Amino acid sequence: MKNIGFDIITIFPEIFHAYLGESILKRALQKELFDVKVYNLRDFTTDKHRTVDDYPYGGGPGMVMKIEPIYNAVKAVKSADYKNGLERLTVMLSPQGKAYSQEMAEGLSEYLARENRRMLFICGRYEGIDERVRESLVDEEISIGDYVLTGGELAALVIIDSIARLMPGVLGDEESAREESFTWGILDYPHYTRPPEFMGMKVPDVLLSGNHKEIWKWRRREAIKRTLQRRPDLLKRAELSEEDKEILEDINRGLCSEE
Ligand code: ADE
């Protein structure tokens, strides 16, 4: 039997049940395309107050998450891995981690697709996690962006969501057939639906023309134009076809002559 999924260690399990209990991920879980197991870190404490944090050595503000409960939780989650022939990637979420990207989501979805692979997320709260957790229990430390969240839970959900939607069968045909932002390494083109005109704002004629070749060219051009205007950094890294490069030169000429 395939064993693909995500394990999460957190002090707020409900956050995961709320998000994963809706929409596309709910459907995917019902179809058993993968599974998610959420572990309450407090269940792995040994004192009567179920303590997960303590004061920082050296002083300073805030509390630090203790290593013992996390160690106990990771050991418990991994206990049957060897017996089950399971390979696992243990991830810690923090702003100090490697910057998350669509490319990483694609790599991780391929990793899990080989079956008998799971990911384990350790979600931190408070000022941080005892450094010895990273040193001894973690394979990858990941950040979802240059800002600070109140905990790793949202980051874990962002990562799970972005990986899950790349797994076979998770998106319906209609959803997955779409050429979308970042699969090209550039931003998405603009979308429109009915009505063709709203308060004087018209849908571009080409989209109503039924000419699929022209529509494709228009979308590609708009996507490249947006990326040039909003995220030129992406264009430098994107793999552009010869046709794309011509479009880009065209846009550049257009932009210059408008000035
Ligand atoms: N925890 C707090 N902030 C975070 C971030 N930006 N990425 C991942 N985990 C975090």
Q: CATH code at 203? A: 1.10.1270.20
Whole-number Å distance between alpha carbons of 248 and 232: 11
Q: Based on the domain organization, do 159 and 234 belong to the same domain? A: no
pLDDT score, position 181:
66
Is there a single domain that holds both residue 24 and residue 142? yes
Number of domains comprising the chain: 2
**Residue 128: closest CA among 97, 151, 159:** 151
Q: Max CA-CA distance within the chain?
A: 72
Closest residue by Cα to atom 5, ligand 1, is 95
Whether the CB of 149 sits within 6 Å of ligand 1: yes
Q: Which residue has the CA at smallest separation from atom 2 of ligand 1?
A: 149
pLDDT of residue 147: 97
pLDDT score recorded for residue 172 = 86
Q: What is the CATH number of the domain that holds 99?
A: 3.40.1280.10
Phi first, then psi, for residue 256 (nearest 5°) are: -65, -45
Does residue 125 lie in a domain region? yes
Residues 156 and 35 in one domain: yes
Does residue 190 lie in a domain region? no
Query: Whole-structure pTM over 0.85, yes or no?
Result: yes
The per-residue pLDDT for 178 is: 54
Together in a domain, 157 and 203: no
Q: Is residue 177 part of a domain?
A: no
Q: Which residue has the tokens 């134009």?
A: 225
User: 126 CB under 6 A from ligand 1?
Assistant: no
Give the contacts of 138 (CB within 8 A, at least 6 positions apart): 90, 91, 92, 122
CB of 155 shorter than 6 A to ligand 1: yes
Please choose, from the candidates 83, 143, 91, the residue with its C-alpha nearest in 3D space to the C-alpha of residue 119. Answer: 91
Token pair 């696992």: residue: 88
pLDDT at 183: 67
Burial 27-48 (b: 16+ CB within 10 A, else e): ebbeeebbebebbbbeebbeee
250 within a domain of the structure (yes/no)? yes
State the 10-residue block means of pLDDT for the chain, 259 residues long: 91 97 96 97 98 97 97 97 95 97 96 95 94 98 97 98 96 69 84 98 98 96 96 91 92 71
Q: Do 134 and 211 have their domain in common?
A: no
Q: Whose CA is nearest to atom 9 of ligand 1?
A: 94
Rounded (5°) CA angle 234-236-239: 85
Q: Please say which residue of 116, 143, 164 terminates a domain.
A: 164
> Of all atoms in ligand 1, which is nearest to the CA of residue 124?
1
Domain boundary pick from 144, 164, 184: 164
Mutate to test the pocket of ligand 1, among 149, 153, 157 (most ligand atoms within 8 A of CB): 149
CA of 95 to the centre of ligand 1 (A): 4
Instruction: State which residues form the domain around 14.
Output: 5-164
Which pLDDT score is estimated for 177?
46
Of 164, 186, 206, the residue at which a domain comes to its end is 164
